[in-house]
Amino acid sequence: MRSIAIINQKGGVGKTTTAVNLSAALAAAGHKVCLLDLDPQAHASLHLGIALSDSERSIYDVLIGNAAVSEIVQEVTDNLSLIPSHLDLAAAELELASEVGREVILRDKLALETNDFDFMLIDCPPSLGVLTLNALTAVNEVFLPLQPHFLALHGLSKLLQTIDLVTQRLNSNLMLSGVVLCMYDSGTRLAAEVSADVREFFARQTVSKGAWANARTFDTRIRRNIRLAEAPSFGQSIFDYAPQSHGAEDYRQLAREVCGLSSARASIASAAAA
């Protein structure tokens, strides 16, 4: 199983949109996918049409020991399952603060029950608190969505430092594997310039031995597309809401890239099929 945390402590950069639609694209391509919503805002759950009532149990109950993952996981489609969140999760940061081994709780709970999946994706909150640390400890890979505007790299050193500390102390398997450029305004000079800066920044890191030494920027850029912003209010992934949109096209392409199928091979395959 590949397990991937989607993190950036900056808000509104495209974490949830990427977590939901990449999960849906991987599921549509035949992989068994589990999406874990680890954000108290529960946006990923709502995006997939799942709003828990106050009496239903969520990932919060798993973290505090009131439920097993198998009791709360929901099947969204044949290949896509969701571990839902609820606003209750906001309390977890405080409640877990005094627990011994608080950063490894999620890893231990997931280890028991998620072996049947090909992919586990975790949508993280916009902070580097105990929830995000739990995600980083439970996965092997980090994807970093960035919005290509002039502050894109601001705050990145804190995030990379956090990943490095987790690698040293809690999870030696962790690797920042990919930067996803989201809300890309193709045709603007700013987007092109910032993308070049981001590529250069990560290219420079290859000389270091840090957890991000192998990070690359995905060739697939997620273009700004209004359909992606509309889909959550219908409780649908982009593939159900607007399957022909640029948004659907881009996340389908990202899924191919994530699976290691290069864009060149993909276009040869689609040309051969046509």
**Residues near ligand ATP (CB under 6 A):** 11-17, 39, 41, 43, 126, 182-183, 222, 224-225, 228-229, 232
Supply the minimum distance, in Å, between the C-beta of residue 30 and Mg ion.
Answer: 26
Q: How far is CA 264 from the centre of its chain?
A: 25
CB of 108 to Mg ion, least distance (A): 25
Tell me if 208 sits within 8 A of 164, measured CB to CB: no
Q: What b-and-e string marks burial along 9-26, b requiring 16 or more CB atoms within 10 Å of the CB?
A: bbeebbbbbbbbbbbbbb
- Residue 183 interacts with which of Mg ion, ligand ATP, none, CB < 5 to 8 Å by class: ligand ATP
d(CA 241, CA 169): 42
Cβ atoms of residues 77 and 30 within 8 Å? no
Question: Could you tell which of Mg ion, ligand ATP, none binds residue 17, using a CB distance below 5 to 8 A set by kind?
Answer: ligand ATP
Using CB distances below 5 to 8 A depending on partner kind, what does residue 224 bind out of Mg ion, ligand ATP, none?
ligand ATP
Q: How many residues bind Mg ion (CB under 5 A)?
A: 3
Q: Which does 222 bind (CB under 5 to 8 A by kind): ligand ATP, Mg ion, none?
A: ligand ATP
* Cβ–Cβ under 8 Å, residues 205 and 153: no
Closest CB to ligand ATP among 39 and 61? 39
CB 57 within 8 A of CB 72: yes
Name residues contacting Mg ion, limited to 36-75 (CB under 5 A).
43
The H-or-E segment that residue 217 falls in is: strand 216-217
10 touches Mg ion by CB under 5 A: no
Q: Which of 3, 5, 14, 15 binds Mg ion (CB under 5 A)?
A: 15
Report residue 182 as tokens: 């989201």
Q: Rank residues 18 and 137 by Cβ distance to ligand ATP and give the closer one.
A: 18
Residues contributing to the site for Mg ion (CB under 5 A): 15-16, 43
